[in-house]
Amino acid sequence: MIISAPSGAGKTTLCRELLKRFPHMRESISYTTRQPRPGEMHGEDYFFVSHDEFQRMIAEDAFAEWAEVHGNLYGTALSTLENSRKNGIDLVLDIDCQGARQLKEQFGGGSYVFILPPSMAELRRRLESRSSDAPEVIERRIVRAAEEIREVRWYDYIIINDQLEHAFEELSAIVIAHSRRTPRMLEQVAKLFDI
């Protein structure tokens, strides 16, 4: 499941709940050149690497997708996707629109979900109430949000995160529906009914 959202729309909150409800799902851990924030752990939140290391990985075609976001580089390693497929793990990818588009164009599979705030005013209120960003950072995020929202058209699903419980139910419904798609059910059906 690929999830994108403007900063402040509630993606982190919703993803956290999703991973609690569906223990077979795991968060994909991206590579980034951004500095760790206090409390962030290498290998848990991100693989924090130098610019040179990231460029080396690009040159070696090690990324399934990568993009520059807020002046830093972020990417999903191909090996992360391959290992999860091998081990039958469903991944949640919290990535920006540029990366999501690359994955959709190259690989196609998966559910592409865009999470929206109920309004720009509420987005601003949430960014301010989170009080983790300086006012100029919040302004930049609002401007970028307006640009990102134009990308919703090519996503498979759109969730408006107004009431958190409703948004969470809708996101869960997408996970369940995706897991019941015929190609994913055939192996189990073949075992049950010898077809």
Residues that bind ligand 5GP (CB under 6 A): 30, 34, 65, 67, 69, 74-76, 94-96, 98-99
Q: Using the rule CB under 6 A, which residue among 7, 30, 76, 102 binds ligand ADP?
A: 7
Q: Smallest Cα–Cα separation from 151: which of 5, 2, 1?
A: 5
130 is an interface residue for ligand ADP by CB under 6 A: yes
What is the smallest separation between the CB atom of 74 and ligand ADP, expressed in angstroms? 14
Q: If DSSP codes are grouped into helix, strand and coil, which group holds residue 195?
A: coil
Stretch that binds ligand ADP, among 7-15, 26-34, 58-66, 104-112 (CB under 6 A): 7-15
Give 164 or 189: the residue with its C-beta nearer to ligand ADP.
164
Q: Which does 148 bind (CB under 5 to 8 A by kind): ligand 5GP, ligand ADP, none?
A: none
Task: Report in angstroms the alpha-carbon separations of 84 from 24, 88, 90.
Answer: 11, 6, 7
The DSSP result for 33-48, as a single string, is -SPPPTT--BTTTBEE
Give 91 or 95: the residue with its C-beta nearer to ligand 5GP.
95
| 1 and 92 Cβ atoms separated by less than 8 Å | yes
Give 13 or 98: the residue with its C-beta nearer to ligand 5GP.
98
Instruction: Count Cβ neighbours within 10 Å for each residue of 121-151 and write b for 16 or more, e otherwise.
Output: eebbebbeeeeeeeeeebeebbeebeebbeb
The interface with ligand ADP within residues 163-192 (CB under 6 A) comprises 163-164, 167
Give 57 or 167: the residue with its C-beta nearer to ligand ADP.
167
DSSP-derived secondary structure letter, 32: E
Q: Smallest Cα–Cα separation from 62: which of 78, 50, 39, 42?
A: 78
Q: If DSSP codes are grouped into helix, strand and coil, which group holds residue 31?
A: strand
What is the smallest separation between the CB atom of 73 and ligand ADP, expressed in angstroms? 19
Task: Report in angstroms the alpha-carbon separations of 94 from 55, 136, 166, 180.
Answer: 21, 24, 20, 22
The interface with ligand ADP within residues 107-126 (CB under 6 A) comprises 126
Q: Which does 30 bind (CB under 5 to 8 A by kind): ligand 5GP, ligand ADP, none?
A: ligand 5GP
Binding site for ligand ADP (CB under 6 A): 5, 7-13, 126, 129-130, 161, 163-164, 167
